[in-house]
Amino acid sequence: MIQFKKSELDNGIRVLSEQHPNSRAISMGIRVLTGTRDEAPNEAGISHLLEHLVFKGTKTRSAYQIARSLEALGGDLNAYTTREYTCYHALVLKDHWQKALDVLCDLITNMQISTKDFNLEKGVILQEIAMTDDNPEEMIYDLLFEKAYAGNPVSAPILGTIKSVSTTSQKKVSDYYKSRYTGKNVIVSVAGDIEHQVFLD
C-alpha cells in the first residue's frame, strides 16, 4: 500500500509526497488555500482573476517564458480556482521535476502585474462570465451554490460577477495576493518516483 509523507517547513508551508518507484512522470501541485470562500462580496472573483494574472509574468519570467518553460520539455503547466483553494500544477518527466518546482514556486512568489495585463485579463474574465450566463449547465451550478449557501461567501460564483470584476482595482488584487499567498496557506504536493527527503532538499 502506497503511503504519503508529510512535512512542515519553518515558514508554514506543508509538503506532501507519495512515492511511485515505477513512474516515469512526476506530478506536482501548489495549492494556495484561498478561493471564493475567502472573498468579500465586493471582491467576488478576485481569486480567479489573480490566478489568471500569475501567468502574465513574474520578476524573472515573461508570460512567454512561463508558457514555454515546461512545454519545451514535453511537460504541462496549468491552474484552476475553486471555492476553497487555487491550484497551480505541473506534469513532467521525472528528470525535470526540479525545473517544474522552480517554475511553480516562481509563479506564486514573484508575480508582477502590469496595468496593461491587468486590464486585459479583466476583459477576458468578463467575457467568461458572459459565456457562463449563456450556458444553462454552468448557470444551474452557480444558482445551486447561491441558494444552498445564501449569506456565505462560498455562494458567490468562482468567476465573480460583472460588477465585482469590473470594479476590482489593481491595488486590491495586489493586496489580496500579499495577504493570502503566504506560507501558512500553501500546500506543495508531489507524486512520482521521488523520495520525500530528496524533494525537501
pLDDT at position 201 = 85
Q: What is the pLDDT of residues 106-123, one digit of tens each?
A: 999 999 999 999 999 999
pLDDT at position 136 = 87
**Residue 176 C-alpha from the chain's centroid:** 14
Pairwise CA distance, residues 82 & 80, whole Å: 7
SS3 state of residue 48:
helix
Q: What is the pLDDT of residues 164-187, one digit of tens each?
A: 999 999 999 999 999 999 999 999
Angle between helices 136-148 and 115-133 (to 10 degrees): 100
**Residue 173 C-alpha from the chain's centroid:** 14
pLDDT of 79 over the 80 cut: yes
pLDDT band at 11; cut points 50, 70, 90: very high
Q: What is the pLDDT of residues 32-54, one digit of tens each?
A: 999 999 999 899 999 999 999 99
In this prediction the pTM is: 0.94
Q: Are 94 and 75 in contact (CB under 8 A)?
A: no
Give me the active site residues, please: 51
Q: Where are the alpha helices (DSSP H) in 9-167?
A: 46-54, 63-71, 97-109, 115-133, 136-148, 162-167
Under CATH, which architecture does the 4-200 domain have? 2-Layer Sandwich (3.30)
